[in-house]
Amino acid sequence: MKAETKFIRQIQKLSEDEEFQKRHIRNAEKDFKRTRKLRFSDVIMYNIGNTKSSLELEAEKFSKYMKADSISGAALCKARQKVNYTAFEELFETTAASSPREKRFRGYHLYAVDGMKGELPKTPELSEKYRISPQSEQPVFHAVSVYDVLNELFIRSEFHFGTADERELAGKMIDSVMRDENYKAEAQIWLFDRGFPSLEMIYHLLEQKRKFVMRVSSNFLKEVNEFRKSRYIDRQICVTCTKRRIRSAQIQCEENTKLNLRCVRIQLSSGAEEILITNLERAEFPKRDLKRLYSLRWGIETSFNYLKNAVFVEEFTSRTENGLAQEYFVSLLMYNFSTCMFGSMQKDIPKKESTNTKSTNGQA
């Protein structure tokens, strides 16, 4: 079975499952109880197939798809608000976990974490609640995602109205992936840009025995700054969890616990010098591999660009918070579907004719 066919069938099967419906109907006592034109599964398929054209046109197209009498736009709007956005979040996570993910870097899955900010519809209610500042009229959202950079798949995302603490959202997703049976036994390397590193996150990743590579800012930990000022290129350092640091980072460890890290100095293509910290062993991952690993993180940046300019993640049609969150997770779902579909197309094309217009990463 082709990956895109499996993807669609999985959505259909889940959306028709009674337990799935119970988890995500907003008012389980009354919604979708009586036989109507629009069932729960119909609303799911309508949202996923919505091309963001006018409501009247979308309603007309969906009526033809349903082979039913005319379904009004108002009826569709009312029906979709009976479904919690978490239905689309679960569909996104479930289909991501079962999508082809064969590409690895020396046996490791590479997961990049990064954030994206965008604009919400400029309604009075949303502007009042989610604008950046009293002087601004534009409401915003802040999303942080986990992205499989080699297989070009989003596997987790947190959608937040207004501005958010990216580190906090990243921590929630890392924990979610670590608990998930589909991922927790994998060999993984987590990739972070300089906005994410913290003593709390480093301690948590080390405690969970997860590999990572982080680009750090110029005012990070004292021990890292001492390395930055030195002439060393690749050196082991020891970070001590003092009482003050434990209290500040709110980590659960004994005073004077030692964290062994590796600092590596690299030069970017722009000529800028940056410091990476990692727990990868030098014998397995020499400096050139760390530079390569960090460069692969760029895949999540290009995926955000694709979301904005090809999937049109910011072109919301809903004006309610539940509807906006629905559309966000549908955008991630459709991004992953395009990856599966393109991957299947590539397999059907002879290698000498194969081109990849979406991929920016290649295969390590």
Q: What is the pLDDT of residues 250-301, one digit of tens each?
A: 898 999 999 999 999 999 888 889 999 999 999 999 999 999 999 999 999 9
Tens digits of residue pLDDT in 319-354: 999 999 999 999 999 999 999 888 765 555 555 443
Q: How far apart are CA 317 and CA 328, in angstroms?
A: 11
> What is the Cα–Cα distance from 329 to 170, expressed in whole angstroms?
17
Q: What is the CA radius of gyration of the chain?
A: 23
What is the pLDDT at residue 135? Answer: 82
Whole-angstrom distance, CA of residue 356 vs CA of residue 163? 35
Q: Residue ranges per domain, the chain?
A: 3-88+320-353, 194-296
Report percent pLDDT > 70 for the chain: 92
Question: Could you read off the pLDDT of 159-190 as tens digits, one per residue?
Answer: 999 999 999 999 999 999 999 999 989 999 99
pLDDT-derived band at 56 (thresholds 50, 70, 90) equals confident
Q: How far apart are CA 349 and CA 31, in angstroms?
A: 47
Count Cα neighbours of 82 within 13 Å in the Cβ-side half-sphere.
21
Locus of tokens 């300089």: 194
Spell 265-297 as b/e; 16+ CB within 10 A means b: bbeeeeeeebbbbbbbeeeebeeebbbebbebb
Which residues sit opposite 119 in a β-bridge? 140
**Would you state the structure tokens that stand for residue 50, as one six-digit string?**
């919505």
- What's at 290, amino acid-wise? L
Q: What band does 363 get if pLDDT is binned at 50, 70 and 90?
A: very low
Measure Cα distances from 85 to 116, 124, 286, 320, 324 in Å.
19, 22, 44, 11, 8
Please give the mean pLDDT across all residues of the chain: 89
Q: Which residues pair with 215 in a beta bridge?
A: 276
